[in-house]
Structure 1
Amino acid sequence: MKNKWIAILLITVLAILPGIFSLKTPLKAEAQAATASMTTHSWQAFFTKALKDSKITDAHVYVTNGKNQKVTATITLGEDKKTLIVSDLAPGSYKLHVNKEAFALSGPKTASQVIPFTVIEKLEAVKSEKELQQYFKALLANSDKEMSHEASVETARSEDKASANNASTTNNQVEGVEEGDIVVVKDGFIYAVKNQSITVVDARDPKNLKLATTIKLKESQYISKLALYDNLLIAIGDEYLEKVGTSMSTATLYDISNPKNAKLIREVGQEGYLQDIRITDDTLYLIGNMYPNYWMLRDQKAPDLKPKTFDSIEGKEYKSLPLEKISILPNTMDGTYSLMTAVDLKNGAKTTANTKGYLGGSSGLYMSENALYLTTPIYDGNPVPAASRIMDMIWMPRATDTQVFKWNVDGTAMNFVGTTEVKGTVLNQYSMDEYEGNFRIVTTEGNTRDEQEISRNHLFILDENLQQLGAVKDLAPGEKVYSARFMGEKAYVVTFKQVDPLFVIDVANPKKPTVLGELKIPGFSNYLHPLDETHLIGIGYDTEQRYDAYSKRNFTVTTNMKMSLFDVSDFKNPKEQSTVKIGGKGSYSDVQYNPKALFRNKEYSYFGFPVVLYDAGKGDEIVYKGQGAQIYEITANKGIVLKGNIVNKSTGDQYENWEQRVQRVVYIDDALYTVASNEVKSYQLKDFKPLDTLTIK
């Protein structure tokens, strides 16, 4: 199965390579621009050649309407000197005129540019197949220009319905918004993903664990997470359809009223690859990306470039998404669809799913109970489609900005609000937040390895229409964001290059966010978790400085894992109240890059996670020490105290056994369970005394 996915990736890469490395000269002043913009935001055109500030005048750069009459518009030149920003236009059809004299290095190959665009009040659906084909033909033409340009430059320079009993729940970012995980718990049963199946463990008697059943999935189906809603078990994943030659993001729903006999009741799918899911307001949202093969336009007159969907309650056929469900996002020229399928889960999820497709890809996601935000990086002025992001491994365009899209959601209704751009790139979903209708986002602009243009970090606050209200800019120059967490009227940001500054930012006044305090300590936290209103848990790595005799420079290396308790009761003087070192050099935990791996139990104030322990050996070698899980009691009074060291020590093995590596730690009533691929172990929660082991073949 894994080989099949690798083959697909390689085929995609090989298909793109010839275009990237072909050399076409000389370099022309080509333009790239979105076909539309909303009245609430500006429209932009990006050029491959720089323009002159002094020539951005009505004589050389201007806008005409549908009657070829000049109209009044605000036209400004971006900081990169290659982007023209047009604003203050009423809804309608326009053309931007840029005379060749406006370019900084005009020559025989430089020509004047006329770029059509429209300004709209609200997002409309695509009206015809012809309109959709024209969009992709424009993309194809721009793609050819962009590939030529890149090669030339290179040569030149809510209520928790998941579990009503006393048991573990998913570590979700937003209360009331379920995200799903690879292990979920309900009514004394543990459901865990294992290859192309779901293992169901009867854990009602922790001293006598039983395998209740194994839910078999298709061989072509890869499950990435599970979610629960009342008596529904939802398996989320991707399926490759060899006969159709495409992949589907799928949600497979089972009735688990009887956990020992789960019944398949429905399957929903959308073409492309899964980005993530959310469940809120009794609705499942399946969010993904689909990259159509629009280069087929060269060979076929009218290929079907609409995404395919599937819903088992409507039949066995895969259907193309109707045009009235497809829209082109403003200010984008990205051939990737962002696809969203909303399924009403009430009454056994029997109603028709609502799928919408938006041309404009995305890679980041944040969701509140009322709104969905998608983000995509902009590389050197150009949003890069998903297929091109595969090439990040081969060529590295520099991500400079982030485009944000917003939808208001109400059950299965998804209504597009607008889009905007912010400086810098976003780390992950925890760098985003919604509070009292305002959207907050933390970004890093630039690269810490770039000594000429040092990196900077920013926090932006946008209103409900994505208009900027306030910002904190140029935080920790030369460093980048490693973690962030918003807690109501405060934001906490960790940046790092050589030491770990923890910044406390007051965001109570959205128009004037203010840095209150800063703490500098060795190491860094790449996940922050709130303990209470004035204490924060940080999980990351310790670091040490070393000297490179060749470059005659100091450099930083990670050593052991580290967990800290930060006291931020005095916002101006945050303190590292307590800290523990975990393992030695090379030790790691899934929780460092996936917060779902964090175990929590309020009754005992427990926090824990799976661990794989290594230690420093000779030279740069690391020595395997063991694997398992560690549970800590963390309180504001006592700090961090190790309570359960559930680690199987190495008996001479060089590396961990991946089948026995603990994936998640959960609890049910008074028992704790560690879940690995081939075994589930139970312990007493109060003292971690071993109770039973269930081997899963």
Structure 2
Amino acid sequence: MKSKWLALLIIFLLAILPGIFTLMSTPKVEARTASESNTTHSWQVSFTKALKASKITEDNVYVTNSKNQKVTATVSLAEDNKTVLISDLVPGSYKLHVKKEAFVLGGPKIASQEIAFTIIEKLEAIKSEKELQQYFETLLANSKKEREYEVTTEVSAKDEKSSANDSSTTNNQVEGVEEGDIVVVKDGYIYAVKDQNITVVDAKDPKNLKLATTIKMKETQYISKLAVYDHLLIAISDEYLEKIGTSMTKASLYDISNPKNPKLIREVGQEGYLQDIRITNDTLYLIGNMHPNYWMLREEKAPDLKPKTYDSVEGKEYKSLPLEKISILPNTMDGTYSLMTALDLKNGAQKTANTKGYLGGSSGLYMSENALYLTTPIYDGNIVPAAGILMDRIWMPRTTNTQVFKWNVDGTDMNFVGTTEVKGSVLNQYSMDEYKGNFRIVTTEGNAWDEQQISKNHLFILDNKLQQLGAVKDLAPGEKVYSARFISEKAYVVTFKQVDPLFVIDVANPKKPTVLGELKIPGFSNYLHPLDDTHLIGIGYDTEQRYDAYTKRNFTVTTNMKMSLFDVSDFKHPKEQSTVKIGGKGSYSDVQYNPKALFRNKEYNYFGFPVVLYDAGKGDEIVYKGQGAQIYEITADKGIDLKGNIINKSKGDPYENWEQLVQRVVYIDDALYTVARNEVKSYQLKDFKPLDTLTIK
């Protein structure tokens, strides 16, 4: 065992040593460049080498305009001593001058810096094919040579609705903003994704389940999301178009007035891959990314680098997005488009779709009824990990900051507001929230395996123009965020490395958020769900400490699943009121990583989810025990009580059957249904007595 870890350590060190020697032998100034900042007349540049605070003077650090004349600007040095902040500039073209005397580290590799940038009043569309081509030519040029500097710009400046019958709804984060799922329910029918097909199950009589029909897509079209709006079923899919050599994200709209005979009425698509969808205020928003083959510039003089779009009401052709629909986001030079298509769903979705493209990719998304926020990580390539990374088996993140982009949305109108950068990386959409026009975000900065610069966690509150109002910084040093949830004027954050602290944070005053209380328990919660105003449900894992004799270090491993009920009525002293352990080592549920898998029923106070059960075997082995679903009654008075243990026990199988895995649990009136790829089962909701099974071929 020792020799195995030693070999891995040697391989790891060989991989990182060139980077170490580069850092030791090349003390020159480096950074990333984007040339524009907009809306708040502010800009910043981050260098890889520290500057002297005493040398940030008009002689050493100053700004000139397009006529090479010095201009008045506010210049300051950030806490990291590597970031210069420039503010109070009117729109125009400028150049920042930083003399070599301003840097702490001297020597022949340190040179004076001159960095051009532009302050713009609003985001402008691309004006010509030449301008778009020049953008990608710059990317190609930068990929060929080592840059002398990098610049970062920063703008500093629920009640559930029911349909005609009482039935399940998607577990959405924001009331009034639909997210879609792989199983949806409408008027007694269950619609479920199965590869290129949509299975439609007539569940009006739970004792006699029927296959109403199967909606078949193309063989190259894989469905990822379903949503319902009025009499429309919306299927989101990824399709590879061999003729034009690209992938397309499509929204296919079906009239399901007659669920046994759905009619395709429209398809809308955008090139690239789906990030997510949202439906709010009668509008479907399709958000994705597209990476053009701009290296074709080396072979062709003028390739078409604009994203393709498709709308069946305009014909069968795939059209390039017009230049007036394309803009370049500030602080982005990665060559990826963020694409957004907005479609008015009123009156059968007959109106033209509006698609916009923004050069600057994204990976995170949060949406309220009035605003869309996209986030993208900004990686710090100069961090060299410690050798201890090999033994940290729970968490190995990379150091990043997060760039946030905001759009105001009103139906199909999408208007860019601005951008900003916050320290640290964001976990998922539940780490973001909008409340009374302010944007709130929780991040983790740093790495658990970096013992010299330990990780820390932050909560930032930004106003409607993305300027910081307040923050809680340096929360739980040495840990990372595993889940977060904002509920009105409170924020709940779970961090973890060896134990699970649950923090209660008062965010009522956006200028002064305050940590009220903290609870430390073993394990961690991947997902937090509000039960009421003073209780939270946490779903995650239990953990245990183990000792490695070779490294003489403790490390943490997960054991069984765990669900907790947290009582936060006393905000200063939160407590774990009730807890249950689910299965043994190796047990898991989709709900831990996809909250859409959470089943809820208000009448019975039921919460449930699909589950696969394993248990510890010999040594590090795990033994498969069964799969199905579990339903719990959860109340503030009684805590957590298992009511329905709908498990198909293993009959000697080594692992679970993928086709029979329960994907979702839903209800219609007084019946509960488990939905798998090859079968739908029905049960009485009050006592979980089996009613019927429908096999799907």
| TM-score, structure 1 as length reference | 0.90
Q: Secondary structure at the match of 1:180?
A: coil
Shift of 1:96: 2.1
Match of 1:203 in 2: 203
Residues 1:525 and 2:525 are matched in the alignment:
yes
Residues 1:220 and 2:220 are matched in the alignment:
yes
Residues 1:459 and 2:456 are matched in the alignment:
no
Match of 2:57 in 1: 57
Match of 1:555 in 2: 555
Q: Secondary structure at the match of 2:339?
A: strand
Match of 2:515 in 1: 515
Structure 2, unmatched stretches of 5+, are 1-18, 151-157, 383-395
Q: Secondary structure at the match of 1:519?
A: strand
Match of 1:95 in 2: 95
8 Å contact kept, 1:39–1:90: no
Match of 1:404 in 2: 404
8 Å contact kept, 2:29–2:149: no
8 Å contact kept, 2:33–2:149: no
Instruction: State the AA in 2 paired with 1:655.
Output: Y
Match of 2:639 in 1: 639
Matched residues in 2 for 1:640 and 1:146: separation? 58
Matched residues in 1 for 2:26 and 2:497: separation? 40
Match of 1:281 in 2: 281
Residues 374 and 159 of structure 1: CA distance in aligned 2, closer, same or farther (over 3 Å)? same
Shift of 1:111: 4.9
Q: Secondary structure at the match of 2:478?
A: coil
Matched residues in 2 for 1:104 and 1:301: separation? 45
8 Å contact kept, 1:290–1:336: yes
8 Å contact kept, 1:43–1:331: no
What value does the CA root-mean-square deviation take over the aligned residues?
Answer: 2.3
1:592-647 per-position Cα deviation (integer Å, ceiling 9, x unaligned): 00000000000100000000000001111100000000000001111101000000
Instruction: State the AA in 2 paired with 1:208.
Output: N
Match of 1:608 in 2: 608
Matched residues in 2 for 1:577 and 1:398: separation? 35
Matched residues in 2 for 1:101 and 1:283: separation? 56
Match of 1:594 in 2: 594
Matched residues in 2 for 1:582 and 1:159: separation? 29
Shift of 1:237: 2.0
Match of 1:506 in 2: 506
8 Å contact kept, 2:31–2:149: no
Aligned residue runs from structure 1 range 136-147, under 5 A: 136-145=136-145
Match of 2:540 in 1: 540
Structure 1, unmatched stretches of 5+, are 1-19, 151-157, 383-395
Q: Secondary structure at the match of 1:643?
A: strand
Match of 1:361 in 2: 361
Match of 2:653 in 1: 653
**460-469 or 72-81: which moved more?**
72-81
8 Å contact kept, 2:282–2:345: yes
Instruction: State the AA in 1 paired with 2:374.
Output: L
Match of 2:565 in 1: 565
Matched residues in 2 for 1:119 and 1:147: separation? 23
Matched residues in 2 for 1:401 and 1:488: separation? 26
Matched residues in 2 for 1:58 and 1:92: separation? 20
Matched residues in 2 for 1:632 and 1:252: separation? 36
Aligned residue runs from structure 1 range 325-474, under 5 A: 325-380=325-380, 398-474=398-474
**159-168 or 488-497: which moved more?**
159-168
Matched residues in 1 for 2:253 and 2:325: separation? 24
1:282-316 per-position Cα deviation (integer Å, ceiling 9, x unaligned): 00000011112222223322222111111111111
Instruction: State the AA in 2 paired with 1:645.
Output: N
Matched residues in 2 for 1:241 and 1:57: separation? 57
Residues 28 and 400 of structure 1: CA distance in aligned 2, closer, same or farther (over 3 Å)? same
Shift of 1:102: 4.4
Matched residues in 2 for 1:301 and 1:58: separation? 45
Q: Taking every aligned residue pair, what percent have the same amino acid on both sides?
A: 86
Instruction: State the AA in 2 paired with 1:283.
Output: T
Shift of 1:245: 1.1
Shift of 1:94: 1.3
Residues 283 and 679 of structure 1: CA distance in aligned 2, closer, same or farther (over 3 Å)? same
Residues 96 and 164 of structure 1: CA distance in aligned 2, closer, same or farther (over 3 Å)? farther
Matched residues in 1 for 2:48 and 2:458: separation? 27
Residues 35 and 239 of structure 1: CA distance in aligned 2, closer, same or farther (over 3 Å)? same
**125-134 or 107-116: which moved more?**
107-116
Q: Secondary structure at the match of 1:261?
A: coil
8 Å contact kept, 1:494–1:500: yes
Shift of 1:238: 1.2
**301-310 or 526-535: which moved more?**
301-310
Match of 2:242 in 1: 242
Shift of 1:95: 1.8
Matched residues in 1 for 2:295 and 2:104: separation? 33
Shift of 1:85: 2.9
Shift of 1:77: 4.0
Matched residues in 2 for 1:337 and 1:57: separation? 39
8 Å contact kept, 2:613–2:627: yes
Match of 1:5 in 2: none
Q: Secondary structure at the match of 1:137?
A: helix
Match of 2:300 in 1: 300
Matched residues in 1 for 2:51 and 2:238: separation? 45
Instruction: State the AA in 2 paired with 1:298.
Output: R
8 Å contact kept, 1:46–1:381: no
Residues 271 and 40 of structure 1: CA distance in aligned 2, closer, same or farther (over 3 Å)? same
The count of aligned residue pairs is 657
| TM-score, structure 2 as length reference | 0.90
1:2-23 per-position Cα deviation (integer Å, ceiling 9, x unaligned): xxxxxxxxxxxxxxxxxx9xx9
Match of 1:130 in 2: 130
Q: Secondary structure at the match of 1:624?
A: strand
Shift of 1:29: 4.2
Instruction: State the AA in 2 paired with 1:508.
Output: A
Shift of 1:148: 10
Instruction: State the AA in 2 paired with 1:126.
Output: I
Matched residues in 2 for 1:285 and 1:323: separation? 21
Matched residues in 2 for 1:46 and 1:679: separation? 56
1:139-190 per-position Cα deviation (integer Å, ceiling 9, x unaligned): 222333459999xxxxxxx997883421000000000000000000001110
Matched residues in 2 for 1:187 and 1:149: separation? 60
Shift of 1:334: 2.7
Matched residues in 1 for 2:147 and 2:643: separation? 57
8 Å contact kept, 1:33–1:44: no
Match of 1:265 in 2: 265
Instruction: State the AA in 1 paired with 2:95.
Output: K
Residues 553 and 381 of structure 1: CA distance in aligned 2, closer, same or farther (over 3 Å)? closer
**35-44 or 540-549: which moved more?**
35-44
Instruction: State the AA in 1 paired with 2:122.
Output: K
Q: Secondary structure at the match of 1:472?
A: strand
Shift of 1:475: 0.8
8 Å contact kept, 1:33–1:46: no
Shift of 1:110: 5.4
**262-271 or 139-148: which moved more?**
139-148
1:358-384 per-position Cα deviation (integer Å, ceiling 9, x unaligned): 1111110000001101111111289xx
Instruction: State the AA in 2 paired with 1:189.
Output: Y
Matched residues in 2 for 1:573 and 1:47: separation? 43
